[in-house]
Amino acid sequence: EMQLEESGGGQVKPGGSLRLSCVVSGFTFSDYTMTWVRQVPGKGLEWVSSISSNSNYIDYADSVKGRFAISRDNTKKSLYLHMSNVSAEDTAVYFCARVRGIPQSWFDPWGQGTLVTVSS
Amino acid sequence: QSALTQPPSASGSPGQSVTISCTGTSSDIGAYNSVSWYQKHPGRAPKLMIYEVTKRPSGVPDRFSGSRSGSTASLTVSGLQAEDEADYFCSSYVPGSSSPYVFGTGTRVTV
């Protein structure tokens, strides 16, 4: 069974930093592009960032560019999102997901998410 | 890239059908066969229901179907069941855009 488990969420002050992790099992992690998507409670989904299988290609949403950094460790089957200089607008549940398709256009499966709350 | 437009809510009785629209533009939904749909129950992981406009992943009941007309994609749930009550989000892949993945505003389906 494929599983993705996020961790690292919590409360952080504005301007602070946080690192999210996503540990994967049930598929060959190193074969796939991975992504982070977030959802403000009660609102829609927003794509945050993606990283290719070998980390050669990385992309960010304009809203997080320059503040967030995505990375991965294929030996640990883990995906990371380092968040810095956070603001209230970054408060959301953060999901990791595997990217599928040619072109890489859909996400499956997803983790259950980890909540990040930015508050003083 | 602006969010795709979905109706906030839709409803139907058990056994009935409901169709959710997802309206974009000729630059996203209308341009690529890259529309996907996700089901989201509170507190649970989003689940892929449809990909590439009409394709259904294994394990997803054939009560779920996808279609597209011009710049509007649709998800139809036939034979509504209680467990179909959830939020549904569409998504379009837009290569070359500053934000290659754009999601819909979401639709709460009530059974």
- Which residue shows structure tokens 């059974």? B111
Phi, psi of B82 (to 5 degrees): -55, -35
Mutation to test the A interface, candidates B101, B107, B108, most A Cβ within 10 Å: B101
Mutation to test the B interface, candidates A106, A107, A112, most B Cβ within 10 Å: A106
* Burial class of residue A92 in the structure, from the number of CB atoms within 10 Å of its CB (0-12 exposed, 13-18 middle, 19+ buried): buried
Q: At B59, which helix (H) or strand (E)? A: none
pLDDT average, residue stretch B68-85: 97
Question: Is the pLDDT score of A18 beyond 80?
Answer: yes
Question: Is the pLDDT score of B60 beyond 80?
Answer: yes
Question: Is the pLDDT score of B74 beyond 90?
Answer: yes
Query: pLDDT class for A41, splitting at 50, 70, 90?
Result: confident
Strand partners, B72: B23, B69
Phi, psi of A68 (to 5 degrees): -105, 150
Cβ–Cβ under 8 Å, residues A12 and A26:
no
CB contacts of A107 in chain B (<8 Å) are 36, 38, 46, 48, 91
* Per-residue model confidence (pLDDT) at position A22: 98
CB contact under 8 A, B52 and A106: yes
